[in-house]
């Protein structure tokens, strides 16, 4: 079906996400204050498409307020946007509007839907770097999911907080500056660890873009010189 979703326009407007790479992010159950994680379902929608669906229940709601969060990794930001594009194309509602106001800052590109006749944001789908998200209210009582989406955006899009580094919840890994040439790939991580034996890895480049090549993470710089890619690890 024809849709108004323009991949090239998304790519042209993407800046932050080009410089981000998240690997093996998992929700553990303490991310959303006042909510309880009640189910986790790994899914393989297509070869190489790793999605995990999390079902959260608002404490004290007796099952009336539920939120579904689907998180899927791709090899790079372009592949994540393609996954988002496919999801939107096959949506029951093919004309979702872009998020406006504070919502517009979530992810590289996002689309929101409101409850019928109301102002609550009932669902928000977006991509950030190499990850796509689908956050939806699925209980009998509609939940505004905008704050949850904003939290996910901050968690995966920003460096760990100083307190997290201080307490050891997160670790900044020592990485040497790369001597790079314009437009050429430089290896940042030679081999990604197995998902079952590692925590969550986050890489943030100063410019250019990060992407996966086989089991390696590479950086492509827009200029020649020395560049430092920050790398963080959060234990599982």
22 CB-near residues (< 8 Å, 6+ apart): 73, 129, 130, 131, 156, 200, 201, 202, 203
Place of tokens 């509007």: 97
User: To the nearest whole percent, how much of the chain has pLDDT over 90?
Assistant: 77
pLDDT digits (tens, 9 = 90+) for 115-170: 777 789 999 999 999 999 999 999 999 999 999 999 999 999 999 999 999 999 99
Q: What is the pLDDT of residue 97?
A: 87
Mean pLDDT for 206-234 is 96
Q: Which residue has the higher pLDDT, 111 or 194?
A: 111
Quick: pLDDT tens for 55-64: 999 999 999 9
Q: Which residue has the tokens 């093996």?
A: 24
Q: Provide the pLDDT for residue 140.
A: 96
pLDDT of the residue at 53: 96
* pLDDT tens track for 14-54: 999 999 999 999 999 999 999 999 999 998 766 656 789 99
Give the pLDDT score at 91. Answer: 76
Q: What pLDDT shows up at residue 1? A: 40
Tokens 């704050």 locate to 147
Long-range contact list for 109-117, CB < 8 A, 24+ apart? 109/10, 109/13, 109/14, 109/81, 109/84, 110/149, 111/5, 112/146, 115/142
Q: What is the mean pLDDT of the chain?
A: 92
Domains defined along the chain, listed by start: 7-157 (3.40.1000), 162-234 (no CATH)
Over 80: is that where the pLDDT of 196 sits?
A: no
What was the pLDDT predicted at 175?
86
pLDDT of residue 3: 53
Q: How confident is the model at residue 174 (pLDDT cuts 50, 70, 90)?
A: confident
State the pLDDT at residue 47.
60
Q: Could you give the CA distance from residue 107 to residue 103 in angstroms, rounded to a whole number? A: 9
**Percent of the chain whose pLDDT exceeds 70:** 95
């Amino acid at each position: 079906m024809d849709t108004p979703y323009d991949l090239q326009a998304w790519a042209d407007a993407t800046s932050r996400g080009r410089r981000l790479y998240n690997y093996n992010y998992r929700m553990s159950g303490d991310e959303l204050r006042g909510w309880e994680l009640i189910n986790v379902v790994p899914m393989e929608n297509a070869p190489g498409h790793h999605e995990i669906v999390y079902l959260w229940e608002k404490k004290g709601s007796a099952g009336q307020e539920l939120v579904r969060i689907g998180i899927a990794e791709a090899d790079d930001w372009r592949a994540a946007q393609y996954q988002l594009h496919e999801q939107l194309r096959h949506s029951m509602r093919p004309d979702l509007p872009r998020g406006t106001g504070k919502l517009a800052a979530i992810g590289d590109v996002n689309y929101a839907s409101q409850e019928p006749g109301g102002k609550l944001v009932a669902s928000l789908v977006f991509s950030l770097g190499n990850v796509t998200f689908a956050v939806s209210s699925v209980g009998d009582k509609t939940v505004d999911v905008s704050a949850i989406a904003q939290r996910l955006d901050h968690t995966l899009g920003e460096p760990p907080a100083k307190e997290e580094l201080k307490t050891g919840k997160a670790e900044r890994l020592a990485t040497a500056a790369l001597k790079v040439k314009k437009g050429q790939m430089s290896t940042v991580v030679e081999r990604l660890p197995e998902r079952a034996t590692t925590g969550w890895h986050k890489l943030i480049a100063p410019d250019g873009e990060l992407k996966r090549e086989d089991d390696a993470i590479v950086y492509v710089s827009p200029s020649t010189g020395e560049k430092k890619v920050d790398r963080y690890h959060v234990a599982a």
